[in-house]
Amino acid sequence: MNAASTAIAPHVEAAKRLLRELELHAEAATDTLGNGDGTAFLAAVEKRQGLLTQLEKVVDVLAHERARSRGRADDRAAETAALIGEVTQAAVGVLQSHEQLVGRVRAERDRLAVAVRKAEQPDQIANQYAATTHALRQQSLSVTG
């Protein structure tokens, strides 16, 4: 491993670690969503946001190193490309878990929206019962005869 690869390797490892953590937090967020624990779900999403912020910084460094290695036809460019490829491969799994999480969140949102719409609609059976009960009460409560 040459000097350029040695310089980029810690950043590659940091990116892969952050990507693994993101994947784990996607699973945790999905589990808390399924349990109906909104507070835990928001905490998991906030943790993911923090991890994404850290990953953004690492990716910026990697992009800079990648740009510096382009145009070279030496072993450093090939090694840098291989290391970047490792990060790319790790990111594929994270994107899949993220898409699954987004799908579950959308499904939960839609389920809750249907429940809210149902709650806002008048219940015809209850209205009929109330109308019938109200008419009976009027007849039985008359004190004037």
Report the Cα–Cα distance between both ends of the chain, in Å, rounded: 104
pLDDT of the residue at 79: 83
Q: In this model, does residue 22 exceed pLDDT 70?
A: yes
Average pLDDT value for residue range 88-115: 91
Q: In this model, does residue 133 exceed pLDDT 70?
A: no
Better-scored residue on pLDDT, 130 or 86:
86
Span 26-47, pLDDT tens digits? 888 888 887 878 888 888 889 9
Average pLDDT value for residue range 49-72: 86
Average pLDDT value for residue range 129-143: 58
Eight-state DSSP code of residue 17: H
pLDDT of the residue at 37: 80
Q: Is the pTM of this model over 0.85?
A: no
